[in-house]
Structure 1
Amino acid sequence: MIEQLQAFTDSLPPAVQWIVVIGLGVIPFVESYSGSVIGVLAGLPFFVAVPAAILGNVASMLFAVFAAHRLRGVVRGDRSEAELSPRRAKLKQRFERFGVAGVALLGPLALPSQITSAATVSFGASRNAVILWQTVSIIVWGAGCGALAALGASAVT
């Protein structure tokens, strides 16, 4: 089956191969880590599959961060921190416990980066800090999973 996927991938122009893997990186729950694995298993070189998946994932994460930041500003207005509901206060406390870096790096274990980044911004984290740490997380997870896929594919062949 992998051979058929690789043969099909080889029949496509390189630009289409990039676009498909970038598209995979945009999809929540596929993101950079699965997109890079699929790209490598499809026969793309590691240095094509991983950056393409990362690019797609970063683009969708940036969209989520800027949308959440703007929405937070519109919804929140002039409300103070004292107006948080008990449930939201508990969520914010957990966010403050792990910080932006912890949420970004551990987030892919539970939720897509788009959801994690939007939630982090909605809790009041700096938009730039969220972008920085989510980008680091996307690169680490994408490169790590892509490398494991490349090692596994080379071991099988």
Structure 2
Amino acid sequence: MTTSLLIAYIIVFLLSAVPLLEAFIVVPVAIFGGMNFTLTNIIGIAGNLLTLLILIVMMDRIKQWYLNKREQAGKGKSRKSQRAENIFQKYGLPGLAFIGPFFIGSHFTALMAVILGGPQKATFWWVTLSVAVWTIGISILFYFGIDFIGLEDKQFLNEFSQQ
């Protein structure tokens, strides 16, 4: 593995850890760029889960901060919060964990799940499963979609990784 390819994997890890970028966005782009399918998925999911784990461990403090901030601002529930609560009431924690990341990201989904009463441990495992399923699923569709339309030779990271 070249140094530049190692840097590319580190970038995938770091970008996947950023809320709203998420692994299921970063990983397919990296695969389109020519990076290894399996390794990129593992690294991207790990990056996403690292910050998710930190968020859930610190959830009690974050929950208090979030609720106090909303109360001090005199704001009611936001549209996103209301949507998340409706999904949580209708489908429970598993439903929120699988639907939420697509609309508001895995980090905010975990935050909303705990605020709405989901246990921290269960929230982590459901959101972890959701991130893995979304990332691998979209990566597979993206990988075969690229192959189907004949763009496998347009891998923009090949030049970067061969230097």
Q: Please, what TM-score do these two structures have when normalized by structure 2? A: 0.73
Q: Equivalent residue for 2:43?
A: 52
Q: Equivalent residue for 1:145?
A: 138
Q: Equivalent residue for 2:26?
A: 35
Q: Is the 8 A contact 2:9 2:43 kept in 1?
A: yes
Q: Equivalent residue for 1:61?
A: 52
Structure 2, gaps ≥5 residues long:
68-75, 153-163
Residue 125, structure 1, aligned to residue 118, structure 2: yes
Residue 75 of structure 1 deviates from its aligned partner by 8.7
CA change 1:41–1:105 in 2 (3 A) is same
Structure 1, gaps ≥5 residues long:
1-9, 77-85
Partner deviation per Cα, 1:3-29 (whole Å, 9 max, x = no partner): xxxxxxx97533212211111211222
Q: Is the 8 A contact 1:22 1:53 kept in 2?
A: yes
Q: Equivalent residue for 1:19?
A: 10
Q: Is the 8 A contact 1:65 1:131 kept in 2?
A: yes
Q: Is the 8 A contact 1:40 1:49 kept in 2?
A: yes
User: d(CA) in 2 for partners of 1:57 and 1:69?
Assistant: 20
Residue 129 of structure 1 deviates from its aligned partner by 0.6
Residue 74 of structure 1 deviates from its aligned partner by 8.2
- Is the partner of 2:53 in helix, strand or coil? helix
User: d(CA) in 2 for partners of 1:52 and 1:140?
Assistant: 14
Residue 106, structure 1, aligned to residue 99, structure 2: yes
Residue 154 of structure 1 deviates from its aligned partner by 2.1
- Is the partner of 1:13 in helix, strand or coil? helix
Residue 73 of structure 1 deviates from its aligned partner by 6.5
Residue 87 of structure 1 deviates from its aligned partner by 5.3
Highest RCO, 1 vs 2 (Cα 8 Å, sep ≥ 6): 2
CA change 1:73–1:108 in 2 (3 A) is closer
Which AA in structure 1 matches 2:33? Answer: A
The alignment-based identity, stated in percent, is 22
User: d(CA) in 1 for partners of 2:66 and 2:105?
Assistant: 23
User: d(CA) in 2 for partners of 1:40 and 1:75?
Assistant: 36
Which AA in structure 1 matches 2:139? Answer: G
